[in-house]
């Protein structure tokens, strides 16, 4: 019988041992595209949050091995037909994190990609030093719940009023077009219209009707600005009026009139939106809140599955 040398025995024992688990505790570190990651691990339970000014997202799931010093997490909640997968790899004294198809959990302005090391999870501060994860009077976070005026909706409220998105149809008819309701407090409407503009360049005049305690615009998931509500950073409710759009140059140009002056905006000068008088509604956390609303609205889920609206 062949006897193993001490060095060979050590190699054999090491290969037989399972890979070290990701230790329970709190981790933090920079996100790949700005902002900060916070990770919490308790045995096999994995939670991750990304925060940066204008963007916030989080999810949780079960930590499963995916090779030596590697793990993967599939979120417990699914918001679209795409399967979000978070990969974790041990790297030095910390962990590298990558994601695939997880846009619906945080929006387009931030990502779960990044790296973390063990330590206290800190919340990210916005540019003015205020906490963007918990929100403040100046930079509130979207919520899914019952608003005293808007009713059950995904909404955000500032000192200027509130805007939100609600499920308007809970039935099964594929012919129903009024699936979602874009809602706002009545003080934001001017002559039956909400003139809105997002910092991604989309927007327009939205005709609204009065309901109980709010004004609303009902439509399908394609025409209700669902993509921009989830992925842009700021929604402006203009005090002027959106006059129209011009696509003749190959780029969409929006014309806005305010106080007798005409302004034109395209992707080239969208940063000048702050020159206009408007009521500003941050979209921090909007993707998560809207996804929670859609999860309880079967008609909206079907509409999105049929390629109408943001996935």
In the chain the domains, ranked by start, together with CATH numbers, are 6-118 (2.40.128), 143-305 (no CATH)
What is the torsion angle, in degrees rounded to the nearest 10, for the CA atoms of residue 215, residue 183, residue 162 and residue 233?
Answer: -140
How far, in Å, CA of 206 to CA of 204, rounded?
6
pLDDT by residue (tens digit) across 130-168?
Answer: 333 333 445 688 999 999 999 999 999 999 999 999 999
Distance CA(283)–CA(107), nearest Å, equals 10
pLDDT number for residue 111: 85
The confidence score (pLDDT) of residue 262 equals 79
Q: 43-85, pLDDT tens digit by residue?
A: 889 999 988 766 778 899 999 998 888 999 999 887 767 789 9
From the list 293, 138, 148, the residue with the least C-alpha distance to 226 is: 293
pLDDT of residue 153: 94
The CA angle 47-288-284, to the nearest 5 degrees, is 105
Task: Give the chain's residues under pLDDT 50.
Answer: 1, 4, 6-19, 120-137, 309-311
pLDDT of residue 267: 56
**∠ CA(109), CA(110), CA(112), 5° rounding?**
155
Residue pair 28/48 in contact by the 8 Å Cβ criterion: no
The pLDDT score that the predictor gives to residue 9 is 39
* pLDDT on residue 131: 36
Residues 6 or more apart from 5 whose CB is under 8 A from it? none
Please give the backbone phi and psi of residue 69, each rounded to the nearest 5 degrees, phi first.
55, 30
Q: Which two tokens stand for residue 71?
A: 């793990």
């Amino acid at each position: 019988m062949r006897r193993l040398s001490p060095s060979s025995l050590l190699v054999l024992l090491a290969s037989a041992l399972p890979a070290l688990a990701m230790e329970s505790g709190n981790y933090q570190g920079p996100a790949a595209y700005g902002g900060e990651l916070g990770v919490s691990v308790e045995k096999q339970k994995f939670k991750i949050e990304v925060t940066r000014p204008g963007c916030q997202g989080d999810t949780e799931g079960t930590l499963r091995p995916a090779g030596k010093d590697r793990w993967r997490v599939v979120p417990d909640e699914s918001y679209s037909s795409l399967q979000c997968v978070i990969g974790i790899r041990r790297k030095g004294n910390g962990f590298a994190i990558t994601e695939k198809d997880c846009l619906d959990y945080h929006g387009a302005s931030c990502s779960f990609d990044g790296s973390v090391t063990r330590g206290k999870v800190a919340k990210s501060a916005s540019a003015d030093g205020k906490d963007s994860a918990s929100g403040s009077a100046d930079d509130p976070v979207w919520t899914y719940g019952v608003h005293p005026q808007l009713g059950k909706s995904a909404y955000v409220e500032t000192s200027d009023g509130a805007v939100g998105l609600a499920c308007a149809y809970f039935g099964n008819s594929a012919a129903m077009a009024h699936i979602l309701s874009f809602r706002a407090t009545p003080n934001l409407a001017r002559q039956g219209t909400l003139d809105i503009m997002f910092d991604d360049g989309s927007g327009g005049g939205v005709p609204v009707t009065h309901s109980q305690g709010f004004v609303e615009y009902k439509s399908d998931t394609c025409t209700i600005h669902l993509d921009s509500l989830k992925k842009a950073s700021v929604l402006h409710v203009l005090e002027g009026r959106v006059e129209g759009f011009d696509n003749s140059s190959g780029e969409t140009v929006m014309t806005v009139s305010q106080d007798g002056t005409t302004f034109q905006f395209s992707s080239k000068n969208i940063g000048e939106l702050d020159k206009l008088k408007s009521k500003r509604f941050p979209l921090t956390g909007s993707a998560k809140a809207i996804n929670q609303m859609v999860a309880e609205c079967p008609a909206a889920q079907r509409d999105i599955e049929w390629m109408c609206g943001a996935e």
